Structure 1
């Protein structure tokens, strides 16, 4: 068990604090995180207290069997060391509890609800006291006793009654904070599972917990890979775009352990906002398409030389015709007869070369602009709807040679290739991202046109990109969609300063420009 405070299962309201996108203060408050049911190690109390402020201490003289005390009062009589304690983790799907004085509760709670809460809380306390005594320590932490009204707490949920122990474990695993709690557990201690129909708890090793608790058996190494969970969750493409950000159902069928994060969450600003550091990204141009500079695979020196020589010869030919016209207009009839034959031969030669050049220029130009491309300017362009790629290629490269293609494996059942601007019934709109680096067009759907692309993670040979809109009110990026791109684009993307990233965008406050 770790020494950490609890988070709320309900996400807090969106903050409107104004902060720079590129310069984030180091003094932002970091909300503490949950832990799971494990035994903590004794350590000195630091200047900044990292453990809970309140604990329940075993007290044989109390009618309840315990006394809730502030940790500071305990340390005065027991020295400066922080007490060991048991962390009690549960879900309100199974146990209905009430925190006294919680302002989020209704002013009046009927007797039936209060009786149900007292019954479930009494059962949890019995489990907690048994676990604490079995561990041979003096204190335990449980939210409704150790969290004061000003602290965050989970919202009430309807209480169901699972019929089997396996279902109980899976319900507990569905909580938002169960995975972080399990990640923070010391591997050397077993997790105690208490249920109403057993007299003794079941001890489960940390390595065996995923297969018991989660349907998809989160196969992350809980002991060795515990610091990148949230980064992986951010890079999942959810089947329902309105689902909670912590949902684990990926459109492409990827599991969390298939994803290798590229960016790193360096700070938690609020319950729904984090700071992304060490991220690569680029802007999306929605204003216009422009000509792209590129380098062909084969050298084009001969073609360019022929084109330039033809241009120079055309200038000489025009000057020759002008000079001949002036010269012949001033000559007498006798001189015209003498010079007519040589000038006629020269005129026919120049005219033949000029006509040949005029015929060859279109072929040379087509060969120049139709050659295979070795490297291009790396640009990202956003287009509303599904455009004709032939027209887009003409605008950017001067001709349609079929070089711009739809990206394979970029689409899913949620991203059909259609020519409509508006997408499904849930308010999503169809957009297309043109990537000139890989000469691909990638369709996607979002509520708002994204203005920034962030490199999120590598998976299955591709890079997952987070397409984000910008919330100018709160100065943070909001995820609109997730797409897959070729890994080569990472080499052309610059690194960004730390940016604020919202886990739960407030749609009413976003401002974008198409």
Structure 2
């Protein structure tokens, strides 16, 4: 039998504040783990297997060789005889894992359905968002023209701001893209610098035959309410423009203004401004002088302005009409490109100053820049964080199911808050390759995703349970299971025959003891046979448990066991495939895993596999979330950390056979989120 590698170092009493299971809001019970005993070189666990089976195996395996072992064997035999009193015939086979009983019952922060109540709507009623009351969703979402434009009055030879919709709908205009810090700074002298920039833009527009332009600080509202409305529809402004004029700062040490291009391209908003407009109508000028306007292509803009143009070339080719991308891949590439750029400093304004006319930067500015590429947008809000805004945007565009797919991903480092969020996957799987099996319906106040229509099971950590088996029915095995139960009946009959005949009594007593001595083998044979199905269990242990130990503890005997466990070849980050052609794991993964920190073992009786994984906290719930690569995605979550009832935290993700999820019962809605105040 393989032994646990001696190089393994574990704390046997790892029952700190993190290893707790929530039973009621604010109430926890201690989570007891089964550790590894290094001194004995084997797994030391709480064994819950049937006592009669264990004693039968012990009697058959431990043959007496000396006086001490003979006494021990006789004591075991007496214990075995008394266990035959029990009429219990093993556990019941249900065909399902142990169901996760708790659920999320708090009022969520924001929901995907307008019929569901949420804290966001409640706060909006008591503290209305800074949005004009006459702004309707249809007006904002399907804006045909900007709310304001700067028009050239040829009669008076001056520029005027126009807000008449009947004029603006027929007007061809130029949308100006620039970086503010390249041309003016806030504070003293700001107005003078703006005037110089405005005169340069006006000259450029007239030189290319346009008598109207849109510039952000001239064509947006004065109040914060109007600024929110203009930010909501800024994507429509650049989509409806006839030309996009890019303003590049002039640098004295570089005649080609390459530094000016780099500065412009590193800003969050300049990427969507260049992509949303017609790609064949881009033009640019350098500096604030009255120089000429040059036409430029989108590919040339990428080469000049984008430091990561090699990563963004797929986006450029898509908008240039040279190739197409899948919708999810396209949006993710856009998100990554925007997240690589600089955003303004977060706002420090209070709610009371949210309606002031002064400039205010949004904490979720990058999300609002990204939302122009989505069909459904969200209203900007100064009070929400970037993760909250991103979750709201994904909920509003649920047809892409970004949130449901991200739950199944395993990043290299799981965030303490919003653990559902993931831009990468250690299994090298792309987000669009995951088929979600859950429905995300809301976001909790702690930033957790509330999922429904999910299957979840509880993991057992305090010992090996008694596992039920479905076997081939056999009359001979049934007789072998029932016959040992007659030992006490025959023995008591022999005592009763003493008054009749001592010889007959001794004979019957000999028959009873003969039956007792052969009963261990009868019990083992009666519980053998081909196993058709195994009761589903997810059994966890801290440290490394070998497949030999797993088979012994689950089956109650070593050789030949009714089922054989094997190492998993592709289910976890610690799995190593075998060199042979068969899809089995390499036994060397047990030795490698034993040298790592925070290693746990998961034994699945359905797939008959042993998984090794690393986690910061002990996972107690397994949630079936998606499909990928012919396997299911199972998120292992810990309890007792969130501030809401039914909130879990992702610890790791395993790839297990899909049919494992079919044996998990559906549970109530749960929240997969971050670590709350309870974990501090």
- Pairwise TM-score range, normalised by the shorter structure: 0.5 to 0.7
Distance 1:495 1:484 in 2: 19
Q: Deviations over 1:262-294 (max 9, x none)?
A: 112223456943332222222223344321222
Matched residue count: 414
Pairing partner for 1:455 from 610, 624, 627: 624
What secondary structure, in the 3-state scheme, does the structure 1 residue paired with 2:148 have? strand
Task: Provide the residue aligned with 1:59 in structure 2.
Answer: 150
Pairing partner for 1:249 from 382, 403, 424: 424
- Preserved CA contact (<8 Å) 1:57 1:140: no
Task: Provide the residue aligned with 1:259 in structure 2.
Answer: 434
Distance 1:241 1:352 in 2: 67
- Preserved CA contact (<8 Å) 2:649 2:672: yes
Residue 204, structure 1, aligned to residue 320, structure 2: yes
What secondary structure, in the 3-state scheme, does the structure 2 residue paired with 1:305 have? helix
What secondary structure, in the 3-state scheme, does the structure 2 residue paired with 1:433 have? strand
Task: Provide the residue aligned with 1:304 in structure 2.
Answer: 478
What secondary structure, in the 3-state scheme, does the structure 2 residue paired with 1:484 have? strand
Shift of 1:309: 2.8
Pairing partner for 2:660 from 478, 489, 498: 489
Distance 1:86 1:455 in 2: 52
Are residues 21 and 447 of structure 1, via their aligned partners in 2, closer, same or farther at CA, if it must alter by over 3 Å? same
Q: Deviations over 1:21-72 (max 9, x none)?
A: 14545222669xxxxxxxxxxxx964798659996622136999796x9xxx
The worse-fitting range, judged by mean Cα deviation, of 386-395 and 454-463 is: 386-395
What secondary structure, in the 3-state scheme, does the structure 2 residue paired with 1:367 have? helix
Are residues 501 and 212 of structure 1, via their aligned partners in 2, closer, same or farther at CA, if it must alter by over 3 Å? closer
Q: Deviations over 1:156-175 (max 9, x none)?
A: xxxxx9979x9999989xx8
Task: Provide the residue aligned with 2:30 in structure 1.
Answer: none
Shift of 1:459: 0.5
Are residues 61 and 167 of structure 1, via their aligned partners in 2, closer, same or farther at CA, if it must alter by over 3 Å? closer
Task: Provide the residue aligned with 1:37 in structure 2.
Answer: none
Q: Deviations over 1:232-259 (max 9, x none)?
A: 2332222344599655432222222321
- Preserved CA contact (<8 Å) 1:369 1:397: no
Distance 1:449 1:87 in 2: 58
Are residues 492 and 83 of structure 1, via their aligned partners in 2, closer, same or farther at CA, if it must alter by over 3 Å? farther
Residue 292, structure 1, aligned to residue 467, structure 2: yes
Residue 274, structure 1, aligned to residue 449, structure 2: yes
- Preserved CA contact (<8 Å) 1:170 1:213: no
Q: Deviations over 1:88-113 (max 9, x none)?
A: 999xxx95769x9xxxxxxx98999x
Where do 5+ consecutive residues of structure 1 fail to align? 1-16, 32-43, 101-107, 154-160, 330-339
Q: What's the TM-score once normalised by structure 2's chain length?
A: 0.46
Task: Provide the residue aligned with 2:521 in structure 1.
Answer: 363
Are residues 235 and 356 of structure 1, via their aligned partners in 2, closer, same or farther at CA, if it must alter by over 3 Å? same
Shift of 1:458: 0.2
Are residues 294 and 231 of structure 1, via their aligned partners in 2, closer, same or farther at CA, if it must alter by over 3 Å? same
Distance 1:169 1:491 in 2: 53
Distance 1:140 1:271 in 2: 38
Shift of 1:452: 2.2
What secondary structure, in the 3-state scheme, does the structure 1 residue paired with 2:500 have? helix
Distance 1:205 1:411 in 2: 40
Pairing partner for 1:440 from 606, 609, 612: 609
Distance 2:614 2:436 in 1: 23
Where do 5+ consecutive residues of structure 2 fail to align? 1-24, 27-102, 109-115, 122-133, 232-253, 286-293, 299-318, 337-373, 376-396, 577-588
Are residues 316 and 205 of structure 1, via their aligned partners in 2, closer, same or farther at CA, if it must alter by over 3 Å? same
Distance 1:281 1:85 in 2: 57
What secondary structure, in the 3-state scheme, does the structure 2 residue paired with 1:208 have? coil
Superposed CA RMSD in Å reads 6.0
Task: Provide the residue aligned with 1:27 in structure 2.
Answer: 117
Are residues 393 and 293 of structure 1, via their aligned partners in 2, closer, same or farther at CA, if it must alter by over 3 Å? same
Are residues 261 and 490 of structure 1, via their aligned partners in 2, closer, same or farther at CA, if it must alter by over 3 Å? same
If each structure's helix is expressed as a fraction of its own residues, which one has the higher value? 2
What secondary structure, in the 3-state scheme, does the structure 1 residue paired with 2:545 have? coil
Shift of 1:385: 1.9
- Preserved CA contact (<8 Å) 1:450 1:468: yes
- Preserved CA contact (<8 Å) 1:423 1:430: yes
In the TM superposition, 1:150-169 aligns within 5 A as none
In the TM superposition, 1:111-260 aligns within 5 A as 148=224, 199-200=295-296, 202=298, 204-205=320-321, 208=324, 227-241=400-414, 247-260=422-435
